[in-house]
Structure 1
Amino acid sequence: MSRPEPSSSQASRNNARIYITGGASGIGFQLAKVYVRAGCAVTLFDIQSTEAAVTELSALSGAIPVRAFVLDVSDAASVREVFDQAAAEAAPDVVIHCAGICMAAPFDEIGDDAYTRLININLLGSRHVAAAVLPHMNAGSHLVFVASMAGLVGCYGYSAYCASKYGVVGLAEVLRIELAAKGIDVSVVCPPEVETPLVVEERKSRPRQTEALKLMAGTLPLEYAVAQIRRGIDRRRFLIIPGKRARGLWFTNKLLPGCLTRRLADFLVKR
């Protein structure tokens, strides 16, 4: 079966319907602002309160009313129920899954419950969102996972986070193949560190070795990162890596089978 080619990006249309998980803050909220300003109908999903986000988005000039739903991505049954409810009124053209958590600590300092919780939210949560929303997506629609450079390159203190994000990248790779025949595009976003509330909080306690390794990919301002993410989504790229330094790290790691980046990582950790 041949794959339908979209005549233009769904996200570029003024009437595009955009679902964003983790939309109350950080990358998700900044993406919501970009799409609302473009005239898109945005629906937010978050376990946090979305009241402030909806108020700010609704105040933007020409904004279409913004919907919001409480969503715990770690609860598969609840995720299905919430997406069924949202899609009953308006099914999505683009789904951007941003919800996730981060934790930076040496492997032997992460307890069973903390490790399991992170995997449940980041990896299984991605699975639950995809399983719940795909029945409501038609040919020409687009499913986007926000993973991390930590899903492409290992980092000290990220044993749980890297495991979850490598899994998200793998999930996206498989869904890209499986959904091609249905005309549904899949993308995975792997940003380096981005200035968000999540990162600000993480910096308070993460190991110095983690801090050093972050230098390899760099840190991006939120608006700059989101502008590049939006461009990649509009162009329907599969792998979206915002930031020249991050793309260089990925390319070097791919070109030299990890040899150079592993040596550099070892050097930075031992400093």
Structure 2
Amino acid sequence: MDPLFFLLCLLLLVLLAVVFSLILFARPRPARVPLKGRHVLVSGGSSGIGFALARRAAAEGARVSILARDQTRLEEARDAIRLATGVDALVLVADVRDPAAVTSALEEAGPVDVLVCNQGVFLPLELEQQSMEEVRFTMDVNLMGTFHLIKAALPAMKRKAEETGVPASIALMSSQAGQVGVYGYSAYSASKFALRGLAEALQHEVIMDNIHVTLIFPPDTDTPGLAEELKRRPEITSIIAASAGGMKADDVAKKALNGIKSAQFVVPCNIEGTMLSIATAGLSPQPSFAWAFVEVMGASLMRLIGLFFQWNWFCAIEKWHAKKKCA
């Protein structure tokens, strides 16, 4: 037998064995989360990605609730959703840092089928320069606010999913800064990395209740929040962030909503995010055996590419500091 032919056959058998194993072992099983006629609640729904998500969900026939702190902005978002889709979204005023306010808002909204924890604050600054009040504020909104929303929504979600037999969803809005640490994002990255641990553990806890967890990783997105962030972001942070492409809020919302409907655990939003999701797959759940195969086969290559990016970032940091010393 030709040795080359033998090696090719052996390689094919190995690949088939890997694919068969992934079909057998990938968990949780694939599912579809319908939106039409179901209750979708979006925190941070008055602007940016949250507003775009709520509008898209309404356009697909969902009953939509939007939650945020500012009554006026919420009402403006509700009017815009009504104008675009004909759906009259429910406005819920609450600070996600206040568990009692969140619980009261969720009781007013009624049982939720799809909970999108989208609220977030961006306060970039070197940790040495940042006050602990800002660090706590970041963690309270981005992380503890997510805990408060899930705790308030989960009991009724479980009951409804059991009664209807239709899959429900809890989606957490992380960030590409929740996949890789970035200069000036010590507090923000910590809050967004924490969401991954929450999502992985929560998926274990709720999968038998027919609830699927989705973790979304958008890059810099053209939103009012980003506009405020750019006013104070360190120069070197912008230099590093430039290596990843930005996106429009509606494009992120489209990617996120498609991921929620297909019960994806990880939803990257662009090519850089896809590369990061492969490089950081770890032990995260993977309902798609095809994507599990891509992760298995691509992990080493993505690690190599990741080392190149880190080299580039550290070189940029060195040049930036040298420039500051000479100024």
Asked if 2 retains the 8 angstrom alpha-carbon contact of 1:241 and 1:247, the reply is yes
Query: Which has the greater radius of gyration?
Result: 2
* 2:245 is the alignment partner of 1:218: yes
Match of 1:188 in 2: 215
Distance 2:280 2:262 in 1: 24
Match of 2:310 in 1: 262
Alpha-carbon deviations, 1:123-182, whole Å to 9, x = none? 111111111110110332110010111111000000000010011111011101111111
Alignment of 1:169-208 (within 5 A): 169-208=196-235
Instruction: Report deviation, 1:265.
Output: 2.0
Q: Alignment partner of 1:189: what SS?
A: strand
* Matched letter for residue 56 of structure 2: V
Match of 2:54 in 1: 32
Match of 1:97 in 2: 117
Q: Alignment partner of 1:105: what SS?
A: coil
Select 2:40's aligned residue among 18, 22, 33: 18
Distance 2:203 2:195 in 1: 12
Match of 1:51 in 2: 75
Structure 2 vs 1, CA of residues 197 and 54 (structure 1 numbering), >3 Å: closer, same or farther? same
Distance 1:75 1:217 in 2: 34
* Gap runs ≥5 in structure 2: 1-26, 162-166, 282-298, 320-327
With the length of structure 2 as denominator, give the TM-score of the two structures.
Answer: 0.76
Alpha-carbon deviations, 1:2-28, whole Å to 9, x = none? x997874222xx212110000000000
With the length of structure 1 as denominator, give the TM-score of the two structures.
Answer: 0.91
Alpha-carbon deviations, 1:172-214, whole Å to 9, x = none? 1110111111111111111111111100111112111110111
Match of 1:73 in 2: 96
Distance 1:173 1:4 in 2: 11
* Gap runs ≥5 in structure 1: none
Asked if 2 retains the 8 angstrom alpha-carbon contact of 1:191 and 1:242, the reply is yes
Q: Alignment partner of 2:52: what SS?
A: helix
Q: Alignment partner of 2:97: what SS?
A: coil
Query: How many residues align structurally?
Result: 263
Asked if 1 retains the 8 angstrom alpha-carbon contact of 2:266 and 2:277, the reply is no
Distance 2:178 2:153 in 1: 23
More helix as a share of residues = 2
Structure 2 vs 1, CA of residues 235 and 119 (structure 1 numbering), >3 Å: closer, same or farther? same
Match of 2:178 in 1: 151
* 2:190 is the alignment partner of 1:168: no
Asked if 2 retains the 8 angstrom alpha-carbon contact of 1:83 and 1:133, the reply is yes
Asked if 2 retains the 8 angstrom alpha-carbon contact of 1:252 and 1:260, the reply is no
Alignment of 1:131-142 (within 5 A): 131-138=151-158, 139=161, 140-142=167-169
Alpha-carbon deviations, 1:74-131, whole Å to 9, x = none? 11122112212211xxx21111111110111111111111111111111111111111
Task: Note the aligned Cα RMSD (angstroms).
Answer: 2.0
Match of 1:246 in 2: 273
Instruction: Report deviation, 1:262.
Output: 2.5
Distance 2:177 2:94 in 1: 25
